[in-house]
Structure 1
């Protein structure tokens, strides 16, 4: 290029540095950065973000932090995208303390989080069951003019249900409908099931009315169907074992015989039935 009188610029360097960072070849990427630094145009925000992304993807937060300090020292202001690479790592590995510390520093330094920032923080907090912090972050999100979207509202509702805070989950569900968001059918189905299990039938009825008031799909993920089938099979198996053991206790008065079946609960049905048949045969012989 130089032989043709064309000086390399960001359009040339940025894709190369991005590819090297993605591949974890940081020595080569930093070498390209050094060449870029001597040019009049110099690295751009995209250049630094590519390196931050690469280091975070590789789990090297020290390297990513060095790039962050480098860009600030050179007068390049980090964007929410820059910080979101860190938050993506923290969310993936449940690093709550590190994530919240960075979020606090980001706010104190005058940087503005975007919708993705809050999404990543809420995902991390909901996955780790930290309702207190999740509610705090959701309030801060709203205070900055960013309404909870379908993904963040869904995560919060599922967390509330997992913690048996059904009234709060119902209020969030109701707020989604009010804001024009259609909850996923899976979210509705799980809430409806849980409310009925808890005997909260009036609330379940209101939930059904709300869901029927908006157009929605009734498809459920295959995993949810399999989970329900597996749960039904487990309950059926437990009932069968209980009934078999009840029959066993009615017909057998020898504690030594009963002790044989205590150690093998998976075979209790067949063994109990066999013992009942043995007792019947003995009775007929006598």
Structure 2
């Protein structure tokens, strides 16, 4: 099964240091009983053939801008219903629409690659005197780049001034470079940088982003070249710049055989030395990056020694630091030591994150130890330790799918929906393919229809897998019903849908 490729972001603490330079300012989920009620009402009464009917259930409910925002956020995995609610709100005597309402919906639609609709909303903003802002375009640009549509993203960046009458500045340009690099398009970013840098004065942020981009694709030589160019221009690097280079040297280095591991550590120490020569002290992120090397090389003793050294230097380990060591201990089979370190984290006031617990779940997956995975999951639920991430849920669904524990799969799936974290396209893809492998065609079709109704465009391999399976199982009538459903949805998916025509398949 081929899942869509997701961007490989840096170490969480480094990602925090090199965050996007222009904030998108999108609202986040907040506790709201009214929004919960409205979103559940819409989901429950949703009619896939008459989308507006579900919104008519809101008759008598006063939609304020805040209620609309929070409801749209809760419908992030049901874009058709979110769009229906948005259209319904436009028909009200006093529409509760704001720029933020448009921004949320543009983000939701662009996330599932409905870019035609996203552009229509931008034009509509202009018509309603809610003039688009640079942030409007940054939301679309980020989603275009994540879909690999880099040229369209650059054109959208160039359109900012025409639509908003606002001249783009250095931070805006950094956002474009940063997003291109985070998704692996550093060559495009460098090309844009070389074309536009004469109009904008290059600074440490721009160079740091490009150094990160080159290191991300394994071109440490280019990263070092940009660092030297930066210094040659009289622009002083900072701890973030060096952490980016250190991250590039360590994170993608091949560590086996042993000589390669030792060479990587030597190269890392050279960066530490250069930092100190420039009067820059390595911080918790610097140490966390090196600790990750020990983790990848399965060096639990060295990991624990480095952790002790950090504490002796007065550097408090972060959640990322602890997670690297926990991961190392788990992958080496030292579950008990990992649990002890987890307890130490909590005692020291460091709250474990989803990635910390995922280390345990991945080890249980490798051991095919479904009982331990289920025990930890139930403990997390009962104690409210943390909100599982989408990745956590996907790991758990994968574990129990493989072991034919479909009752547990359903329980976890329902929990994921209840939490509002998901499911996303990857979740549906994994579940449908897993059901197909077990020849549970009816269940696979059910989730296939559900994902379409939620606005997710299935991957071509999902079409083909389900199609072949149904034909081979003499379920041609079921396929025809699915195909009819797909044809009905072709308007929603727009031009994206045209790439998914199936070739005739014979048994």
The interval holding the TM-score normalised by the smaller chain is: 0.5 to 0.7
Question: 1:53: Cα distance to partner?
Answer: 1.5
Q: Is 1:45 aligned to 2:319, yes or no?
A: yes
Q: Does 1:147 align with 2:422?
A: yes
- Change over 3 Å in CA distance of 1:9–1:151 after alignment to 2: closer
Alignment-derived partner of residue 98 in structure 1:
372
- 1:17-36 paired onto structure 2 within 5 Å: 17-36=291-310
Task: Tell me the SS of whatever aligns to 2:317.
Answer: coil
Determine if contact 2:425/2:458 at 8 Å carries over to the other structure. Answer: yes
C-alpha contact (below 8 Å) 1:161/1:191 kept by paired residues: yes
**Superposed, which structure 2 residues align to 1:73-222 within 5 Å?**
73-110=347-384, 111-212=386-487, 213-214=489-490, 215=497, 216-217=499-500
For 1:204 and 1:4, locate their aligned partners in 2 and report how far apart those are by CA, in whole Å: 66
Stretch of structure 1 that moved more, 117-126 or 147-156: 147-156
Matches of 1:3 and 1:163, distance apart in 2? 60
Aligned pair count reads: 223
How much has 1:121 moved relative to structure 2?
Answer: 0.6
Three-state SS of the structure 1 residue aligned to 2:320 is helix
CA distance in 2, matches of 1:73, 1:121: 27
Q: Deviations over 1:40-71 (max 9, x none)?
A: 34212121011011122223322322221221
> Displacement, 1:106?
1.7
The structural deviation recorded for 1:157 is 2.1
User: 1:50-100 deviations in whole A, cap 9, x for unaligned?
Assistant: 101112222332232222122112221111111111122223342211111
Alpha-carbon distance in 2 for matches of 1:159, 1:4: 54
User: Any conservation in 2 of the 1:55–1:63 contact (CA below 8 Å)?
Assistant: yes
Task: Determine which structure has more spread, i.e. the larger CA radius of gyration.
Answer: 1
Match of 1:30, SS state, is helix
CA contact (8 A) 1:9 1:41 kept: yes
1:6–1:167 Cα change, 3 Å: closer
Change (3 A) 1:219 1:31: farther
Structure 2: distance between partners of 1:133 and 1:36: 41
User: Any idea what SS the aligned residue of 1:113 has?
Assistant: coil
Q: 2 CA distance for matches of 1:184 and 1:159?
A: 15
| Alpha carbons of structure 1 residues 20 and 200: separation in structure 2 relative to 1, 3 Å | closer
Q: Between Structure 1 and Structure 2, which shows a larger proportion of helix residues?
A: 1
For 1:3 and 1:182, the matched residues in 2 are separated by 53
TM-score (norm 2): 0.40
* Higher RCO structure (Cα 8 Å, ≥6 apart): 2
The residue number in structure 2 matching 1:258 is none
Instruction: Point out the more displaced range, 43-52 or 12-21.
Output: 12-21
Query: What CA distance in whole angstroms lies between the structure 1 residues aligned with 2:424 and 2:485?
Result: 18
CA RMSD of aligned residues (A): 2.9
Conservation of the 8 A alpha-carbon contact between 1:57 and 1:89: yes
Cα deviation, residue 169, structure 1: 2.1
Which residue number in structure 2 is paired with residue 278 of structure 1? none
Deviation at 1:103, TM superposition (A): 1.1
CA offsets, 1:137-164, max 9 Å, x none?
1000000012322222122223334444
Q: Does 1:60 align with 2:343?
A: no
- In the alignment, structure 1 segments of 5+ residues that lack a partner are 221-227, 233-286
